[in-house]
Structure 1
């Protein structure tokens, strides 16, 4: 049964609408007759597709049985699964760190190695909380059946009681500890109060999901498609035959989740290499997005491109930022990590505007109850500095550091050397190879 009518999909309003008291035409819940798991008679389930401001799309479900008066409510995530998984490692050394806001998806695994504590994936519903809130939630879950355990199994009850004391002691932060949130869906998040500057206590690692993780998320079937099958389309044409065509495939809008179409094209960048450009345009909400992925292999050496911005005309330089590339502006103490903003084929001005929009305008922790005057002022000041760079009034160094070697910045003096641009090739570290998945990659005798 389809829960979304064609009028909703084709209309101008998004499928997932934000809850608002000013909206006179609020989306009404969908009622479905369903089985009561308490008395096995029929009850009613009501579903509401909505969106939490500054968070994500959700499905709110509520079940009521008139025969036995049993009720149940649940919230399920309806957000888009990211292209890569994410692992946050936070070193907690002060009580201020306990107040960091955390978005924990239900697919995330939470660990505190110092006390051998772990919450496996899909054992808890997603939550928007703080570090202290996650600890309190774990303590409440462990204490839930303690009265029964003390009667039926006193030894286990005593062990749990001792472990709860360890968790409660963590909130005193008398000894530093580590919080790890590993989410293959990429939808979890830990706040960085130092943003947009580097947070020394927080490490964010993007990684490629394993086949098993894709299966757990429901992205692939148990029987994987072979490499030969993916090399051809339904007509038997090879990818080589499709290089001059614009390919289309069905997807969902990342903003309102309505059905949309993504266009894909292979493009050759002069003096560089081939890339894949993908663009999505949603007819329902008007949202547009584009992304660029490298069409070639990982280079033997990493690439670091440093441009000294000396003139406003530098803003017109073409730029390719791959999803493995970091962006650094040393004078502003700014660093944009790998996979943030995804792959981009734009100009230098376009990328700086995207960074400003991400950090200042679309940051969920700069609005509502999540913000503080000090943090908001700091981010607004950073936005003004970026605008000064774009206008050419603030001269800085712009660095693209790509361990995969798939990023590019236009040399306006080509084929001569650019006096303001420095390109360095370097050997990747073991940690960088680990992030790219190269250490475990076997291409011979497999």
Structure 2
């Protein structure tokens, strides 16, 4: 399995409620730890190769691994063999009742299928966290040297900085351009763009140029005209997207940070959910799932054509997302912006609860 490490670590937790959950597809990277707390079962990282399987397949694979040397144990350590037989029975009985499957992956590359996509899966929770230096070392990631602060911010605003990197597609040497841009009536952002001369792959990413705001921001736009598709939009990496009329919710890290238009964001959502979905082709594909996602793509097309009356909601706990007000500096009659106090869980996701900005030298 390719070692293309995500920017944050990931923990997936699924509460198995019915027999159909056993058929959920699972991508488990070799760096992931797999746990079933109810039976004190754990598969440490790097003890198994990465795999594409189902939840039932994961359990069957674990059972097969434990049964492999039972004949030898019966001859050399019968007491140990009896205990392992008892534990194997516990694993097999998991198929009959409820349990929780936890996949903790520092590389951020593991995945558990959401059969209700594009709707939210109530039984599945995904949390992202910052890797520790020890986890970075295990993954072979070298910590980047801290950049020395510039004494001339005005010069940085007026020039494009270039640094060497590798193409995320073919891993060939490439260069990334970085520019600080001021968005009118909002704030500064950092736009980073990579263009690979070898394979032609292009990518762009937006980072907020400022600190996390004191309050979260929730922007709601009522789409009433196809001209709304040309509104400029900044979606930070901490922003979730909701379309209530479609019962659709996209988590904060799914698309990454982007500076685009509303039409560009909807095209990205369609590509992510429909066109580039790895579970819509090959053995993973089912006619019911393919039809459901096709219908969702048709609804997105109708929204972009102005044929559906919907609301677009940008919910950013960090307060660093933006949607253009075409009536600025006057209020926009079709758009509302709500400031709210973050919950403890949202501060935890943003890494703010443990952040110490005063007296940290002590």
Give the structure 1 partner of residue 309 of structure 2. 395
Aligned-pair distance for 1:205? 1.6
Equivalent position SS for 1:254: coil
Q: Which moved more, 1:379-388 or 1:205-214?
A: 205-214
Match of 2:109 in 1: 187
Question: Residue 377 of structure 1 corresponds to which residue in structure 2?
Answer: 291
The answer to which of 93-102 and 321-330 deviates more is: 93-102
Aligned length, in residue pairs: 359
Query: For residues 17-416 of structure 1, what are the structure 2 equivalents within 5 Å?
Result: 77-172=1-96, 175-220=97-142, 225=145, 230-232=147-149, 238=151, 240=153, 241-416=155-330
TM-score with structure 2 setting the length: 0.95
Distance 2:132 2:224 in 1: 44
Structure-2 residue corresponding to 1:65: none
Does the 8 Å CA contact 1:231/1:239 hold for their aligned counterparts? no
Per the alignment, do residues 239 and 338 of structure 1 end up closer, same or farther by CA in structure 2, a change over 3 Å counting? farther
SS at the partner of 2:339?
strand
Give CA-to-partner distance per residue, 1:362-393, whole Å, 9 cap, x none: 00111111111111111000000000000001
1:231, 1:238 within 8 Å by CA — same for their partners in 2? no
Q: Measure the CA separation in 2 of the matches of 1:156 and 1:299.
A: 57
Give the structure with the larger helix fraction: 2
Deviations 1:14-70 (A, max 9, x none): xxxxxxxxxxxxxxxxxxxxxxxxxxxxxxxxxxxxxxxxxxxxxxxxxxxxxxxxx
Please give the alpha-carbon distance, in whole angstroms, between the structure 2 residues aligned to 1:78 and 1:376.
26
Partners in 1 of 2:152 and 2:128 — Cα distance? 28
My pick for the range that moved more, 137-146 or 340-349, is: 137-146
What residue number does 1:44 align with?
none
Asked whether the 8 Å contact 1:86–1:183 carries over to 2, the reply is: yes
Deviation digits for residues 275-334 of structure 1, max 9, x if unmatched? Answer: 111111111221111111111111111110000011011111100000110000000000
Gaps of 5+ in 1: 1-76
Point out where structure 2 has 5 or more consecutive residues left out of the alignment: none
1:238 Cα offset (Å): 4.4
Structure 1 CA distance for aligned equivalents of residues 214 and 354 of structure 2: 16
Deviation, 1:359, is 0.6
Take 2:355 and 2:77, find their aligned partners in 1: how far apart are those partners?
48
**How large is the Cα RMSD of the aligned pairs?**
1.5
- Matches of 1:295 and 1:150, distance apart in 2: 64
Deviations 1:195-227 (A, max 9, x none): 111111111222222222212211126xx84xx
Q: Distance in 1 between matches of 2:152 and 2:107?
A: 29
Distance 1:214 1:274 in 2: 30
With normalisation by structure 1, the TM-score equals 0.78
Q: 2:332 aligns with which of 410, 418, 425?
A: 418
Residue 442 of structure 1, CA deviation: 1.7
User: 1:239, CA displacement in angstroms?
Assistant: 6.8
